[in-house]
Chains A and B, each alone.
Chain A
């Protein structure tokens, strides 16, 4: 564990992510205004002591909306990656443990999924269902499990014939116990690293979708849809575009620094440079 914090970048990533998590958690306590309260007397005000990040075209307080938007971004990231990781672990474990034709079928499905431009696929599904936060989390999850599947399978293939696994098998351990008791715990580190990096890209995808108007719908605030308003008013209200963009940038940067740092710390091979 000590090794992890030796890299200052990892520590910075950790601090960024935990601050954003904290702010999102206590959003109702620190938000100065109701994020959806429209105030026609305060339309497009610049940042001031009253409104830290100014107000938007409907007079809503941008700082409060940013805080609640953080909840959305973090939730989408966690749930989408949770879904993807779960699918990836199950499919990757089956493929790597049993091999044979099951492996072939699963890995060819991965190939097919990787051949379809993911962002197109997500947009298409959203078009057929309706854009809502739950649909977005599910769709991002269902279109991003391929990496984890490959990873878990590769880990299982390399662990499958190690002595400790063979020993457990010789002692009569059932498949279920071998997979969940021995193989999976020993593959956890790369799975966690890839999940953290996955959250970063899920946050980017969600904000992109919301920016295009196909993500989180008004009046619910998300960093992406605050930016959409920012695009409308870019000539008069720079604060509407600047803050949500910076927030997305910081969040993704934080997850990437953290994920990369953990990988380097636990994988000495990638650390040799």
Chain B
């Protein structure tokens, strides 16, 4: 498993190629990439600042990936989350999962993303024409994370 928190952008194709390189067990690779949107809750966003809790963030992500590995037979996982100042259209997060068959890769990728949204200590502050403000957590994110059962099914 590879977990990185960084200010720099990432090369999506290169990251995915590296994740599956040299492992013929892999029959499936799924990836999710999140971007900064230019509109949030009706306001135009000119900049997004991402803050994190160094140390706890890496630990929380490692625990989430371990939980995914306990539920599904997956081969490799790569998580990259950017911090610092980002602009609309920028890549924010990558979650990529490899497995022998597609079912595990699809499910684990979504599971990791759902838990990242509610368990990993990152915070967004967006700048709009009305000024800068911290983004409120969404209840829909909490319900997305709690729909997963311990044996790897969605409720």
Q: Do A and B come from one complex?
A: no
A-binding residues in B (CB < 8 A)? none
B-binding residues in A (CB < 8 A)? none
